[in-house]
Structure 1
Amino acid sequence: MSEWLISLEGTEAGHQAALGLALLAALLHAIFGALQKGRFDPWLSRWSIDCWLACLSLPMVFLVPWPEPHMWPIFAGMVVIHFVYKVLMAMAFSRGAFTVVYPVVRGSGPLFTVVGAWLIFGETFAPLQWLGLFVLLAGIFGLAVYNFLFLEAERDTLGPALIFALLTGFMVALYTTYDAYGIRATANPFTFLAWFFFLSALDFSLLVPMVMRHRFRGVTLRPLLQRGLIGALVAYGSFGSVMLATRLDKVGEAAVLRETSTVFAAIIGWLVLKETVGPRRIALMALIAAGAVIVELAG
């Protein structure tokens, strides 16, 4: 499997596979965010997801080639980056509605990532791709501004929620670029994926019960753990898909296409979380999708 994936790197087939993986990651990441924001405290939701990821991923590290020595410092940096990301994400979700916070997180990420991909990997965007990126960003931030102006829920904490969301967006760009570097630094991409899911899940699994024990009061563990299992399985598809996409093709394009997750998130927020969606928000979501299409067609 790994030999076949590696053979696709830099080919048209690899480009098409990366496109499909990035769009799959977009859908799954929106579901993942909704699972963390939904029924339970976001801190507990993430704890449950990470517990499952740690348990399910432990056997996998023995089924892939052992990491090369130079990978261990890379893994250490990855753990720190993802821990900060998860803390900021939980702080944003605990203060703002899903359809308010999520667009800001995903909207700020691709711009930072495109710049990072240029600095680290030497990737460049064509002029029309930049146009598509700014169309996508206009839709995402337009959606965030609309939500900020017209949604009445959680008004008191909306300002801090948006600040944390913007900081989280920067961390999304950082982990996307860093993970792309990591998965390219090892001979076997599945070695990176197996250790990524195991190591990055240990922090919340161990720390939340120790420092946030009060959050478990009155919580029934069975439904929390059931939701965590679903979230862990979705995380495999979401994070795994986008990292494979960044190995097969350009990091910047994969990051931009993944941000169509904002469209999926708005649909989920409307259908599942019962958050308000009107014609203006639908138009802004269409703008996001149009920007992604421009980036792909102009590539």
Structure 2
Amino acid sequence: MTEWIISIEGTEAGHTAALILALMAAFLHAVFGALQKGRHDPWLTRGAIDGCYCVMAAPFALFVVPWPEPHMWAIFAGAFVIHLAYKLLQAMAYSRGAYTVVYPVVRGTGPLFTVIGAYLIFGEVFNGVQWLGVGVLMAGIFGLAVYNMIFLVSERDTLNAALALAVLTGIFVALYTTYDAYGIRATADPFTFLAWFFMIDGLVFPFLALRRWRAMEHRPAPAPLLRRGVLGGIVAFLSFGAVMLATRLDKVGEAAVLRETSTVFAALIGWLVLKETVGPRRIALMTLIAIGAVIVEFGG
């Protein structure tokens, strides 16, 4: 698998594979967000997920993939700090605002700053048509957030804090997307980066979640949390792993924009699973997001 991934980097086959991986990541990322915002406290769910994917990744990191090169340890340290800050901000935002408001703002802020970061770090340039696509996609995402904010939000007293945290979280989405793309390109074997990333990334939140669980007056049963953690860990491997591979195979900015079609999937999950209302206006905004992604992909 490693040899095949390396052989198609920068080729038309690599571009096609990156497109498929980014869209797969979009769907799975929406599932991941719904898992964290679902029936349990988001801090507890995130702790269970992180703990599970840390344990699942450890055997691969330690015994299967090639050992990281010496220069990778500093890169892993940076990824650890960035992702920890991102997860703290995301959990705080989910604790204060509705999923259908917070998630679109987070995902809408991310692609703009990722495209800028990809230009500064990797020299990637979007043409005018692609920037139009970014604008259309972001208009749809933020329009969806505004609509949800007006008609669907119940947490009115914490809405401003939730939105501010969502924007800040989106900035960290752009930061980790760009940084992870740099990291996965800095090692000879991309699966070395993925295995060690997931093992290191899952070290802190389980302890934060355990501390929060112990402080609760009415503690949820551990078994359902662990089941959600195992499922979330598998989804995380497939989602984050897919988009990181996509950024190695092709342009970081395009992969980031395509992943933000996750907002469409998130709205569908909110409707089908979380039983949130979806009307013609929201369908139109979701269509706008999809059109923006198509413009970016085919305008390049």
Normalization by structure 2: what TM-score? 0.98
Match of 2:6 in 1: 6
Matched to 2:256, the amino acid is: A
- Over aligned residues, Cα RMSD in angstroms? 1.0
Match of 1:122 in 2: 123
Match of 1:259 in 2: 260
Is the 8 Å Cα contact of residues 54 and 198 (structure 2) preserved in structure 1?
yes
* Per-residue deviation, 1:54: 1.1
Instruction: Quote the Cα distance in structure 1 between the aligned partners of 2:166 and 2:216.
Output: 22
Is the 8 Å Cα contact of residues 44 and 215 (structure 1) preserved in structure 2?
no
* Per-residue deviation, 1:256: 0.1
Instruction: Quote the Cα distance in structure 2 between the aligned partners of 1:152 and 1:56.
Output: 37
Q: Give the stretch that moved more between structures: 158-167 or 111-120.
A: 158-167
Instruction: Quote the Cα distance in structure 2 between the aligned partners of 1:298 and 1:117.
Output: 17
Matched to 1:36, the amino acid is: Q
Instruction: Quote the Cα distance in structure 2 between the aligned partners of 1:42 and 1:207.
Output: 12
SS in 1 for 2:204: helix
* Per-residue deviation, 1:156: 1.3
Match of 1:234 in 2: 235
Matched to 1:109, the amino acid is: G
SS in 2 for 1:20: helix
Is the 8 Å Cα contact of residues 45 and 228 (structure 1) preserved in structure 2?
yes
SS in 2 for 1:94: helix
The verdict on how the C-alpha distance between 1:199 and 1:252 changes in structure 2, with shifts beyond 3 A counting, is same
Structure 1 residues 186-228: Cα deviation after superposition (integer angstroms, max 9, x where no partner): 0000000000000000010233324663148421010111011
Instruction: Quote the Cα distance in structure 1 between the aligned partners of 2:211 and 2:141.
Output: 37
What pairs with 1:1-299 in structure 2 (closer than 5 Å)?
1-61=1-61, 62-210=63-211, 213-215=214-216, 217-299=218-300
Instruction: Quote the Cα distance in structure 1 between the aligned partners of 2:295 and 2:144.
Output: 19
Matched to 1:71, the amino acid is: M
* Per-residue deviation, 1:251: 0.1
Instruction: Quote the Cα distance in structure 2 between the aligned partners of 1:36 and 1:216.
Output: 21
Identical aligned pairs, as a percentage?
71
Is the 8 Å Cα contact of residues 36 and 42 (structure 2) preserved in structure 1?
yes
Is the 8 Å Cα contact of residues 97 and 153 (structure 2) preserved in structure 1?
no
Number of corresponding residues: 299
The verdict on how the C-alpha distance between 1:148 and 1:200 changes in structure 2, with shifts beyond 3 A counting, is same
Structure 1 residues 250-272: Cα deviation after superposition (integer angstroms, max 9, x where no partner): 00000000000000000000110
SS in 1 for 2:227: helix
Is the 8 Å Cα contact of residues 22 and 255 (structure 1) preserved in structure 2?
yes
Structure 1 residues 93-128: Cα deviation after superposition (integer angstroms, max 9, x where no partner): 111111111000000000000000000000000110
Q: Give the stretch that moved more between structures: 200-209 or 37-46.
A: 200-209
* Per-residue deviation, 1:231: 0.4
* Per-residue deviation, 1:176: 0.2
Matched to 2:16, the amino acid is: Q
Q: Where does structure 2 lack aligned partners over 5 or more consecutive residues?
A: none
Is the 8 Å Cα contact of residues 104 and 263 (structure 2) preserved in structure 1?
yes
Q: Where does structure 1 lack aligned partners over 5 or more consecutive residues?
A: none
Matched to 2:5, the amino acid is: L
Normalization by structure 1: what TM-score? 0.98
Instruction: Quote the Cα distance in structure 1 between the aligned partners of 2:209 and 2:272.
Output: 30
Is the 8 Å Cα contact of residues 101 and 153 (structure 2) preserved in structure 1?
no
Instruction: Quote the Cα distance in structure 2 between the aligned partners of 1:207 and 1:77.
Output: 20
Structure 1 residues 123-152: Cα deviation after superposition (integer angstroms, max 9, x where no partner): 000110000010000000111111112224
Instruction: Quote the Cα distance in structure 1 between the aligned partners of 2:154 and 2:232.
Output: 25
Instruction: Quote the Cα distance in structure 2 between the aligned partners of 1:3 and 1:276.
Output: 46
Structure 1 residues 153-196: Cα deviation after superposition (integer angstroms, max 9, x where no partner): 11111111111100000000000000000000000000000000
The verdict on how the C-alpha distance between 1:290 and 1:83 changes in structure 2, with shifts beyond 3 A counting, is same
